[in-house]
Structure formats: C-alpha cells, structure tokens
Structure 1
C-alpha cells in the first residue's frame, strides 16, 4: 500500500521516493491522496502523487470496498451520499463514518479527489481541451472543475497544462492513450491469460498480450485495448464515440485488470499456506481480474457451467451473433457489443438469469452472501461463486476441494489455482 507523507510546515504531501527531506516531527502520513487533501495539503509538484495508483488496501471492510466500486462506476456523479448508502443498505451517516475510519475521507471527498487526479493526468498525457477534460473527468460544469483543480493543485487547469513535462504526452495514431498506474508487483501476463481463458468470442480477444473488447456507451459502440506499459502502469487505448465521462471507462478498465485493490494482506496470508505459498512466491503480482459488465460475466459463467469448454465457447459466440449489437470493421475477431438482460430473456441456457436480472430480482452489486444466494436460484453454486469472484468479492471460491484455511482471501487463492493450471 502506498503511504503518502504530508509536511505540516510546507502544506505539501508526497509519494514515497520523493527527494524532499523534511524533519520527521513535521510529517504526517495518509493512505490516500484524498485524505491528505481533505486535511488541507496539496500535491507535490516534484513527485506528482496523482500519477501513482491510489488504490484502497484490501484490509478495508467489504462494505467500504463495495462503496468504492460504486463510486468508481459514477454513482456520485448524479446523486449524493444518501443514494450511495441506500444502494448498500446503510445510512449515509454510517457510510461516512466507515469511510472516515478506514480511508480518512468522506465518500464525496474521495470521489472529488479521484475526478481531480484523473483530470490532472489528462492535462499531462493528452491534448484534449480544458472543457473536454472537465466533462471527461465527471465534473458537472466547467466552473466546478476549475474550482476543484484550483483548490487541490493551487493552480488553474491552463497553468497545469503549461507545466507538463516533455515526456508526459502520449502520442497516438488513433484513439486516446492513457496510463493505468499500479503499485508493483503486478503480473499482466497472468491477467491476460485469465482474460483469454474467459473471453467471449466476438466481444473480447487477447492477441500477443493485448486485450481488446467492444463496449457500448449510451448505445454507441467503442473499443478498448489494454496491454503492458511500463514498470508501474498499463497502457489503455480507447476508441470512443465521445469523451464525456471517459473517467469511468478508464476506471472500469482498471477494475477489469484487477488494479482497483492491492492484495497486500491477501498475499501475505496465502504466502504462509504450504500449497499456495510457492505459487505466490513465484508470481507475487497475480491479482483478481474484475469485469467490464456484471451481466456479461454472469452469462459467461452460467453458460460455461452447463457445457464443456469448447461447446460453451461456441454457444457464447452464437448468443452474441444472434442477440448482440453488430459493430462492423473492428478486426481482431471483434464483431458485436454484448446484449443486455432484456435482449436475452428468451435465450436458451441464460433466459432465467436474464429475466431475474431484468426484473430486479437478482442485483449483481449485492454482497457475497446475498449475491450467491440469489444466483443459486438460476445456476449452480460453482457458477455463482465464479460470478461473485469477478464482481469483486474477496472470499469467493468457484473450485472444488477444501478451502477453509484460505479464508477470507479465497478469491485470490482461486485465481492462483486457475492461472497455475493454464
């Protein structure tokens, strides 16, 4: 977990490795940039902490992690903390207390900091205009954007753009290229292999270490390409119909790659296991891949649970061809955007799942126990556990065999098992 150091005498916070050498008695530490900013500190111009992964450690309670996932998905862009608490079944007051105790900020402060940091990266890395960056980062107005950037970085967006360094700008011959930062170790090879094994033909592909997929934004098609970048970041190339809200596209891509949470405690716990320990030592950067779309992952798991691997792959391809939205001219085997639940209510194999999701009887953002319990009405426990794993549950177990000793980190343990087999 990255720990940020804030210096009381200068009002500046830094990431580890910064050349500044303040006196220890003047330093306070924070686990998130948002917490340092909420305490009145501004980001260091030398080490630029907004360019590193500001992830939530896996020691945070699952309720907080689920709330963070909803914030990443953009829930607070159009509503407030009351709506977030309602979605999670708790009061806004309780949620704020949980965030303050474990992250040092309120949900609103966390969301605001994420928007500002993402905007700062766009100012550095891209040639998007100031107004485009404001709306791409989830701000509701240019005035709100300018105020937040001035408060957090003590400079206007135009001044920050003028300060960017020569090597920051990412030149692309098509699409928008962005860095997805992570804290090492991170094993992209293992993640790409997992995504390849679970890819839905026509919607996803993995070729030469690059993951590609179709997406739909307000009914308009887009394509994402994700691959290795540098020692502490992946590279995402996004071909999108518009830039508004692109922050949430980027955040969802990071979740898909398993970059949204550092498995510090999970890795330490599994390292002590006699069977898994050698796997963790050999590949310490393995993480739990997430999902682009919850319903898409659920359909994939339900089909693969009912059919042998080759038959399931063929069935998924046919399902996409019949019910998906065609997208022409993409190459790399990409042909369709994945259909929504309403389109699949009459489909063979997945109709019951689609109807329950469409009717609101299955909520794919529920906690592990509630999610598995509702999914077991339409599929097997194994498939339900696989879906929960991909949707961020930390203790899902879609494999056979005894696993009690691996609690509460069975999701990462399962990914180690699956990637070691592949």
Structure 2
C-alpha cells in the first residue's frame, strides 16, 4: 500500500487508525516517522514519504515520533493472512528467531537460503531480516525502559542487544532520546503496580468484539494452566528462555496485558504470542465487509462486528488439546487435559492464583506408554502419535510453518480426521481460511441462518467467504447461546 501515494495521503489527512501498521509516514522536514493516525498536524503532501515498515523508515534515517509512538502500532495483518515466505519470515522474526538463532537460523527454519530471504524481505518491506529484528529490539527496549525498573544493562541484553553500546546507539537513533531520558518521560505516567510485572497496552484495529474471544478462552480453560479471574484471562507461558504468566483484560481501545517472566529476554516473544492468541493484528473491516455481503450471514455480522479467531500461544499444546477434544464435550476435554497437566506437566515454583503448571511438552508426552494415559484407548494412541510427530520434527506447527504441508502431515496421522486438522489449522497455524463444515455447532447455526446445513453444500456456499472462512465460523458459533459465545460476567 505504501506505493499508493494518494491513498496514503488521504489516510494521513483523515488520521485513519485502520491503516496503522499498514504503512509509516516519514516527514522529510523533521526527519521523523509516524503512524497514519498521528494526532499532530499533517505535513504538506510534498513533505511526506511512505515506508512499508518501521525498519525501512529507520534505515532511511528517520526517528520515531514521540507523540504517536509508531512502533506500538498494531502489526500488519498481512503476516497473519498469508502463508508465503515473507509472511512466514515476519512471524518468525516477531517471535524472536533472529535474536536467538541469527539469520542462518531463520533461513534453516524456512528452508530457503539467507540470500533468498534477504532479497524477498527487501523487495516487500524495504529492510532485511537484521534491520527488522533491530527495529523489534528497539521496541522491546522501549517497553522495558518505560514499564520496568530493570537496570539499563539488563534492559539491553533482555531486549536482544549484543552490547550496551549498541543498545544506547539504537535507542538514541530511533527515539532521539537516551535510555535514561525515555525512562524519565515515562516516570511522569503510571508505574507498574506490582514489582516484577510488566504492564503493557496491546493495540488493535477497531472494532473488536471480545465476547467469543474471551468467552471461548474461559470456557475451554485447562485448570492449572489457564483460568478466568477478576475479569481477565490468565495463563502460563512456556517460552524459549524460560516461562511466565500473563493476564489479558479487554478494554475499549486496547488489551491490558500484565506479564511476569522468569527471563526478560522472552518479552518480545511473549508479546507476539499474546497478540497472536487474541488475533489482534486482524483487519476486521476487510473481514466484515466481505462476510457481510452474504445476506444470510450479514445479520450475525451486523449484530456484533469485529469478531476475532481465538488462537493459541503454543501450537504444539493446542494440537494435543484438539485430539483430546475429539467427539467429547468441552467439559470432558478440559477434564482430560487437566489430568494430563497434573500427571505430566511442569509445576511452577511459585504458583500464581490457580496457575500451577506448564502444559506438558511434546517430548514429555512422546515417551509415554499410551496405556498410562487416563482417556479412551483410541485417543491415547493418537495423543502419543501426535506428540511423537511434533517432538521428532516430522510435524511442524510453529509460526513459520507451511500451512498446507502441516495439513498434509496431520491428515496422514491415524486418528486425525478433517475436523481435527482444520481446527488445528484455524487456531494453531492461524490460517484465516480454515473451515469446519462438519462441526455440529456450525451446521446447527447454518441451518438456523438459512444456510445449507450439509457439509458439502455448506462448503460450496462458503467459497464466497474466502479467504475469511475461519471468521465466518466465529460468527456462526456466536449464534448459539452457550458459554463460549459470551464473555464471563465476573
């Protein structure tokens, strides 16, 4: 979009927040870059230039606006809508892969050469993987500086910088302030209420309907790993460097996020996973506009627009839980998962409320004797089979995985049918077009709405909903009066 000068100018002049994260506005006279919705008076057209990423703007010598904080924009929806190389690379960079494994590690995960990845990222985003990772490090550093009491040296290494000098230079270059000056500015605002807890605001594109999003997470919460408490969804997190807990609470214009991490180096990855869990980088206007063209689906869209797809913070965990949920009620699936957690999960040294365990790893489950699992016989074998495929690397469900290849591997495993493969594609892989026409709730809602109720006919009708069929499922599920379709009242 950044190449359409006139359209970008119109978005900037109307301060249209829907375009935040789609492109960045660079002001040639002040040498700053902003989000399209920046509240400052827009510059003259001739003094504007547009970039596809914050990293590209930084590479061109622009610094971040102190007023609109463009690095805190919602992420571009493109990376969660697509399954091509650039989108997969961006999801991996967002998860911290370059900081942990370098560009060669990123290339190895994607199955391409570093040169191919560099070339494609430069062509679409104006910046290579190192520059994109550096922009993310700067954002992580700003969050730690402003929301924690960590010494600056600890902030530097937690944000992924190799040296304090690189940290200082990057912060000055991007924000035109020294790290201590950034902290002094933030000190005039709210400080963290609880030592060791990072309090963040996760932005999103409006509208956002939290009912099915938080309702589903609360209704399916696994005791010990997740809980709904005090108006917020809480859960444990297994992260590359350690573990943590998070509390997520919906607000009118943001999601309140409170993170407690055993290792601050996991901050960027934890934020990325929370955003992914709540589908915060979606473009609800594009989704609802298309789905609303179907006269039988339109009433559900018009009644409560902005529904998101509840996803997951751990794709491997969700795959196991999807198997546990085959052909049983939500309550029964929670019971089976809770037993698995108590028997094979990792206890937290310091429990947080009802959060006592991390969900078992695929490696821990792969080595089990199926007979040791307290569940139906057929389900036991499938759980261990899926866990072994994940632990061996045969089945890849991470943020950089190939969606169609993952589907093929899933459906080749005995005990994994179309419903399970598609629910994993929808919530673990994040495919916005995943569709489950055989689901009983979908079929019942379709019949009530006047849509075809048989799987084949519904699939043919739903071709017009592509590429947003996963969102259509959320609207259909919302037609049922069950706990997962509404946010808990307390």
Same structural fold, with TM-score higher than 0.5 when normalized by the shorter chain: yes
Q: Tell me, yes or no, if structure 1 residue 381 matches structure 2 residue 418.
A: yes
- Displacement of 1:209 in angstroms is 3.3
Q: Deviations over 1:78-125 (max 9, x none)?
A: 333343233223333333343334333322222211221222233233
Q: Aligned match of 1:14 in 24, 27, 34?
A: 34
1-structure distance, mates of 2:127, 2:282: 17
Q: Tell me, yes or no, if structure 1 residue 66 matches structure 2 residue 88.
A: yes
2-structure distance, mates of 1:156, 1:364: 40
2-structure distance, mates of 1:355, 1:279: 41
Q: Tell me, yes or no, if structure 1 residue 355 matches structure 2 residue 388.
A: yes
2-structure distance, mates of 1:104, 1:60: 20
Q: Tell me, yes or no, if structure 1 residue 364 matches structure 2 residue 394.
A: no
Task: Tell me if the contact between 1:58 and 1:264 (Cα under 8 Å) persists in the aligned partners.
Answer: no
1-structure distance, mates of 2:187, 2:41: 19
2-structure distance, mates of 1:224, 1:413: 28
Match of 1:350, SS state, is: helix
In structure 2, list runs of 5 or more residues that go unmatched: 1-18, 371-379, 439-454, 486-490
Match of 1:315 in 2: 336
CA RMSD in angstroms, aligned pairs only: 2.5
Matched ranges for 1:97-108 at <5 A: 97-108=119-130
Q: Tell me, yes or no, if structure 1 residue 23 matches structure 2 residue 56.
A: no
Match of 1:257 in 2: 278
Bigger helix fraction: 2
Q: In the superposition, relative to structure 1, how do residues 381 and 333 fare at CA in structure 2: closer, same or farther (>3 Å)?
A: same
Q: Higher Cα Rg: structure 1 or 2? A: 2
Q: In the superposition, relative to structure 1, how do residues 272 and 202 fare at CA in structure 2: closer, same or farther (>3 Å)?
A: same
1-structure distance, mates of 2:281, 2:245: 21
Match of 1:149 in 2: 171
> What is the number of equivalent residue pairs in this alignment?
421
Task: Tell me if the contact between 2:288 and 2:306 (Cα under 8 Å) persists in the aligned partners.
Answer: no
Q: In the superposition, relative to structure 1, how do residues 166 and 278 fare at CA in structure 2: closer, same or farther (>3 Å)?
A: farther
Matched ranges for 1:177-256 at <5 A: 177-217=199-239, 221-229=243-251, 231-256=252-277
- Displacement of 1:327 in angstroms is 3.0
- Displacement of 1:350 in angstroms is 0.6
Matched ranges for 1:332-343 at <5 A: 332-343=353-364
1-structure distance, mates of 2:349, 2:115: 48
Match of 1:151, SS state, is: helix
Task: Tell me if the contact between 1:99 and 1:106 (Cα under 8 Å) persists in the aligned partners.
Answer: yes
Match of 2:467 in 1: 408
2-structure distance, mates of 1:68, 1:375: 24
The more displaced of 59-68 and 132-141 is: 59-68
Match of 1:215, SS state, is: strand
Match of 1:239, SS state, is: strand
2-structure distance, mates of 1:19, 1:184: 21
Q: In the superposition, relative to structure 1, how do residues 338 and 186 fare at CA in structure 2: closer, same or farther (>3 Å)?
A: same
Match of 1:295 in 2: 316
Q: Tell me, yes or no, if structure 1 residue 114 matches structure 2 residue 147.
A: no
The more displaced of 94-103 and 203-212 is: 94-103
In structure 1, list runs of 5 or more residues that go unmatched: none
- Displacement of 1:405 in angstroms is 1.9
- Displacement of 1:248 in angstroms is 1.5
Match of 2:412, SS state, is: coil
Q: In the superposition, relative to structure 1, how do residues 261 and 130 fare at CA in structure 2: closer, same or farther (>3 Å)?
A: farther
Q: Deviations over 1:352-375 (max 9, x none)?
A: 111111122111133221111111
- Displacement of 1:388 in angstroms is 1.2
Match of 2:67 in 1: 46
